[in-house]
Amino acid sequence: MRRPVSHQQYVRGHRRDPVSRHRLRGHLPPCRRDDRRALPLLPPRLLQRIILPGHGWRPPGAVDTGNLCRPVGYPGGDAGAVPGRDYGLPSHRGDPDLRPAYKIAGPGRGQSLKFARRGFLPLLLVLPALLSSQPLPERIESVVRSSITARHGHWGIHVLDLSTGQSLYAWQEDQFFVPASTTKLFSTAMALHRLGPDYRFRTAVFAPRKPENGLLRGDLRLAGGGDPTLSGRAYPYRRDAPAGNPLQAIEDLSDALARQGIARIEGDIIGDDTAYEWEPFPEGRAQEDFLWEFGAPVSALTVNDSRIALVVRPGRRAGDPAQIRLTPSFDYFLVENRVVTTAAGTPKLQVARAPGSRQLRLWGTMPLRGPAEGRSLAVDDPALFAAAALRDALIRRGVAVTGRPQARHRYPGETLLPAEPSPAAGDVRLAERLSPPLADILTVVNKESVNLHAELLLAETGRARRGVGSRAAGLAELESFLREANVPDGDARLYDASGLSMLNMTTPRALTSLLSWMERSPLRDAFRDSLPVAGEEGTLRNRFRGLPEARWLRAKTGSLSRVIAIAGYAGSPSGIRAFAILVNNYAVPAAEVRAIVDKICMLLLD
């Protein structure tokens, strides 16, 4: 890869020193000095005739207009006049009709902008085009190599022209990086192809026999089928849609049971997630992730994304315990509250839960007139959580339940029937719920980057294609799919579907290869539409804001400790480009790295 060339040009006349890019900008008129785009490499004649003061030809009758940017042009035409030898601009040599009709004079020469009496289209309005006339590789190089921030860390960039398949830019494109949530591009593309855009998940409620005279004898079993939509999320995806009831799916199933006249259940409420093997956490996750909703355990029975919202408010007086609220509000966690209200200060809230425990420990301080503090916490056992939610909903409908909520798991290698949400021998289906189509689910996964949903898609693909709902089966199917998608062998070594595992390794080339293949797929539109629009949706809603042209950028982001990634599609006047930018192990603030990444993304739109 060619290194960028330092901008130095020799000029005629009394000044023969090389002119640096920085000094060259100082010779621009005030209305253009704030344009921070990189100056192009210009040939010497163009440099002295257009940019530099005191050199080149002065048109007869030129007048001093002061320090203004006035319309200027070529005699008899505009900036699109007959092209000459110098980057498409006319040369006056041998043809007086093509003499430039303007000149920029710099400080110390006693002159400002000179302009002709003819032509009135300013070359200064064309100057931004000149500044961006460098080929894309050189412009990306100028951003990356000139930035002190970009010198820190491990960078990989790959850009493909999808109309020709040509690589437009490559820097360490075959090196391994931790991809973070750009991993979801692999898993969602596979799910779309292996399951189909109209695939739906099924959740059902079973009993050993039909109820008689309002009495149901035996356990009531809520059997999960991997549905990630048992929550208050809006489907199809709508930007800024208000959150609905987080237990709406459970409420609907409870209504269906109550309509059958059930008044009493003599048995337990079983949360059955045996459709998938019980492997709650993929390899390579940090233990501290287990507490938070983004690291929620993976289960075939997932209600409200297996999370509970915690809100802590100050008490009524200084010294009082803080007020605690959990949503959903049914009994599940046991809370130990040691948060104290203080007269002043800043909130200092700490939350802890031992792995596998249902006891939350809270401590710290909350200022009396301070705002509430919120946290989104993962539950320890999603199947048990779902069973507790269903029992609570039935009791609120006047159904007496004698038993307790219980969880039923299937561990790796264990054979346990049923292995999917279907009736066991003699069981009766009392209620069921179908999910929205897979295409709508993928939109939420990629736009909002929901880790849990990506893991559920991986397990479901393994169950549907290989007969085993497990991470191993899903990863084996993913490996097969990536070979079909022309991803270079060995370029993607994945341990989960969401990107939360720090063991994942991929190359920028693997991501662009997948994106290129998906662009030729009959499912192209469903896949592309699942990605957030820059500046408008999902994880890109707060990036590229105020830049209307950014709407032509659709990409999946990724972020972990010392990891920033983005990959997707950029629409440009010359066609669609697939790109991947991965940055690992940087030693500067993440915001600085993200700013450089975003600047490169904007270059791809030119």
Closest alpha carbon to 395 in 335, 333, 331: 331
Q: Is the pLDDT of residue 444 over 70?
A: yes
Last residue of a domain, one of 111, 133, 155: 133
**204/186 same-domain check:** no
Q: Which domain holds residue 238?
A: 200-436
Q: Is the pLDDT of residue 2 over 60?
A: no
What is the sign of the dihedral through the CA atoms of 476, 522, 555 and 230? Answer: negative
Q: What is the pLDDT of residue 546?
A: 87
Per-residue pLDDT tens digits for 254-288: 999 999 999 999 999 999 999 999 999 999 998 88
Q: How far apart are CA 479 and CA 327, in angstroms?
A: 39
Q: At residue 115, what is the residue type?
A: F
Q: Is the pLDDT of residue 29 over 80?
A: no
**365/486 same-domain check:** no
**331/476 same-domain check:** no
- 186, two tokens: 């692999």
Quick check: helix, strand or coil at residue 26? helix
- What 8-state DSSP symbol labels residue 48? I
Q: What is the pLDDT of residue 354?
A: 87
Residues 6 or more apart in contact with residue 396 via CB below 8 angstroms = none
Query: What number is the average pLDDT over the span 162-189?
Result: 97
**109/168 same-domain check:** no
Q: Is the pLDDT of residue 419 over 80?
A: no
- What 8-state DSSP symbol labels residue 560? E
* Residue 13 CB neighbour total at 10 angstroms: 10
Share of the chain above pLDDT 90, in %: 67
Q: What is the pLDDT of residue 573?
A: 85
CATH classification of the domain holding 484: 3.40.710.10
Distances (CA, A) of 351 to 189, 280, 361, 375, 523: 36, 21, 6, 9, 44
Last residue of a domain, one of 133, 166, 185: 133
Q: What is the pLDDT of residue 144?
A: 84
Q: Is the pLDDT of residue 82 over 50?
A: no
Residue 395, φ and ψ in degrees, nearest 5: -65, -40
Closest alpha carbon to 320 in 338, 336, 346: 338
Q: What is the pLDDT of residue 355?
A: 83
The pLDDT confidence band at residue 572, using thresholds 50, 70 and 90, is confident
Q: What is the pLDDT of residue 422?
A: 54
Which of 80-89, 273-282, 287-296 shows the lowest mean pLDDT across its residues?
A: 80-89
Strand locations in 505-550, DSSP E?
A: 505-506
Last residue of a domain, one of 420, 436, 452: 436
**169/253 same-domain check:** no
**114/147 same-domain check:** no
Q: What is the pLDDT of residue 425?
A: 53
Which of 95-104, 381-390, 403-412, 484-493 shows the lowest mean pLDDT across its residues?
A: 95-104
> What is the pLDDT of the chain when averaged over all its residues?
82
The pLDDT confidence band at residue 46, using thresholds 50, 70 and 90, is very low
Which of 88-102, 219-233, 516-530 shows the lowest mean pLDDT across its residues?
A: 88-102
Q: What is the pLDDT of residue 34?
A: 53
What one-character-per-residue DSSP string does 282-327 give?
Answer: -TT--GGGGGBGGGPPP-SS-SGGGEEEEEEE--SSTTSBPEEEEE
Q: Is the pLDDT of residue 51 over 80?
A: no
**Pairing of the two strands 575-584 and 553-560:** unpaired
Distances (CA, A) of 393 to 236, 302, 363, 457: 26, 16, 31, 28
Q: What is the pLDDT of residue 426?
A: 64
Query: What number is the average pLDDT over the span 166-194?
Result: 98
Q: What is the pLDDT of residue 242?
A: 85
Q: How far apart are CA 400 and CA 534, in angstroms?
A: 51
Query: What number is the average pLDDT over the span 56-82?
Result: 36
Closest alpha carbon to 116 in 138, 147, 135, 92: 92
Per-residue pLDDT tens digits for 345-379: 999 999 999 888 899 999 999 999 999 999 999 99
**144/127 same-domain check:** no
Q: Is the pLDDT of residue 55 over 80?
A: no
Q: Is the pLDDT of residue 43 over 50?
A: no
Q: What is the pLDDT of residue 102?
A: 32
**273/412 same-domain check:** yes
Strand locations in 438-595, DSSP E?
A: 492-493, 505-506, 553-560, 563-572, 575-584
Q: What is the pLDDT of residue 241?
A: 82
Q: Is the pLDDT of residue 537 over 60?
A: yes
**21/74 same-domain check:** yes
**238/271 same-domain check:** yes
Residues 6 or more apart in contact with residue 335 via CB below 8 angstroms = 324, 326, 359, 360, 362
Q: Is the pLDDT of residue 478 over 80?
A: yes
Q: What is the pLDDT of residue 525?
A: 96
**576/465 same-domain check:** yes
Q: Give the chain's largest Cα–Cα span.
A: 108
Q: How far apart are CA 431 and CA 259, in angstroms?
A: 10
Per-residue pLDDT tens digits for 132-168: 568 888 999 888 887 887 777 999 999 999 999 999 9
Q: What is the pLDDT of residue 133?
A: 63
**343/481 same-domain check:** no
CATH classification of the domain holding 351: 3.50.80.20
Q: What is the pLDDT of residue 229?
A: 98
Closest alpha carbon to 454 in 411, 494, 422, 398: 494
For residues 120 and 71, is the Cβ–Cβ distance under 8 A?
yes
Q: How far apart are CA 102 and CA 112, in angstroms?
A: 11
Q: What is the pLDDT of residue 421?
A: 55
Q: Is the pLDDT of residue 18 over 70?
A: no
Q: What is the pLDDT of residue 86?
A: 32
Quick check: helix, strand or coil at residue 215? strand
**Pairing of the two strands 264-266 and 373-378:** unpaired
Q: What is the pLDDT of residue 481?
A: 98
The pLDDT confidence band at residue 322, using thresholds 50, 70 and 90, is very high
**Pairing of the two strands 102-103 and 264-266:** unpaired
- 374, two tokens: 């919120």
Tally of domains in the chain: 3
Q: What is the pLDDT of residue 146?
A: 78
Which of 7-16, 90-99, 487-496 shows the lowest mean pLDDT across its residues?
A: 90-99
The pLDDT confidence band at residue 101, using thresholds 50, 70 and 90, is very low
Name the CA radius of gyration of the chain, rounded.
32
∠ CA 376-380-385, nearest 5°, is 90
